Amino acid sequence: MKSQIPGVYTAFHKDRTIYYRASLTYRGKHISLGSFDNADDAHQAYLLAAALLKDSSVTLNQYDAGSQLSFQKWVCLLNFRDNGIYFSSPIYIRPKFFYYYFSPSDFYIFDSEDLFYYSSRKISRRGGHCFVADYGMQVNIMSRYGIKNYAVEGRDYRFINGNRQDMRYENIEIINRYNGVSAVINGQKTRYRVKIHVKGNLTVGVYDSEIEAAVAYNKAIDLLKKAGVDKNYTPNYMDGISPAAYADLYSSIKISPGVRNYRCE
């Protein structure tokens, strides 16, 4: 129900207590500004939103934590004002990338090609990880880069420019992409050590290529299962290798005696 105050609408909770909603229309887009306990706060939110959309000199750095609008709403409004696109997510577009904001000093930088994905999904944080809801599942955003949940920064991947907030593809380097495989650099030569965990870590071997190492890990899984190890290992999946080539590697790759002769106690 529209009130007599511009931009303010009265509404009712299930128990019939009243509250107030603020909204405005800009460039033909109806924008909800939130719910408020009193009409004055709702009206102040409306006036502030209208001012932000009108005054192009106002920046995100001028956000006032005491205002009636959340910082996320400031981002949405200023992006709409400057770029002509309204997102419900706190996204601000730049020419070749965009920011996804949590607070004025806390944000991620993503490539433009990820705009559609994040404009329709909210990023949530839990236990040091960031997730989005994707088809009813909680998906770790690092998986978009081939980074597994258990990956360790500096060992399995790194941010090339040292900025953990810069999530552009060019800034993320995958060091170890396969389960159980770690790169070992000796001078200018890189080899790949494979370990597998039973009760402790068992060394499977050291190999000249990542593919060999990944196949060795898979072979170690099969040998341990034959030995009676009841553990849910995740085998490596490799793109670009034919079944015949995989079979040849599998049969020729040598596995350490510690894995080959392992017996369950």
pLDDT (0 to 100) of residue 3: 65
The domain locations on the chain are 1-71+78-84, 87-175, 181-260
Q: Which token pair is 230?
A: 């009841």
Q: What percent of the chain has pLDDT over 70?
A: 99
Query: What pLDDT shows up at residue 155?
Result: 82
Strands 8-12 and 29-36, sheet pairing: unpaired
Q: Average pLDDT, stretch 223-251?
A: 92
Mean pLDDT calculated for residue range 32-47:
95
Taking only the tens place, the pLDDT of each residue in 20-38 is: 999 999 999 999 999 999 9
Q: pLDDT band at 140, cuts 50/70/90? A: very high
258 by DSSP, 3-state: which? helix
pLDDT-derived band of residue 201, with 50, 70 and 90 as boundaries? very high
Higher pLDDT, 166 or 155: 166
Sequential DSSP letters for 187-238: TTEEEEEEEEESSSEEEEEEESSHHHHHHHHHHHHHHHHHTT----------
List, as one string, the DSSP characters of 47-101: HHHHHHHH-TT--GGG--TTSSS-HHHHHHHHHHHHHS---SS-EEE-SSEEEEE
Summarised one tens digit per residue, pLDDT across range 52-97 is 999 999 999 999 989 999 999 999 999 999 999 999 999 999 999 9
User: Could you give the CA distance from residue 73 to residue 79 in angstroms, rounded to a whole number?
Assistant: 10
The per-residue pLDDT of the chain, averaged, comes to: 92
137 pLDDT more than 90: no
pLDDT of residue 151: 83
pLDDT band at residue 2, thresholds of 50, 70 and 90?
A: low
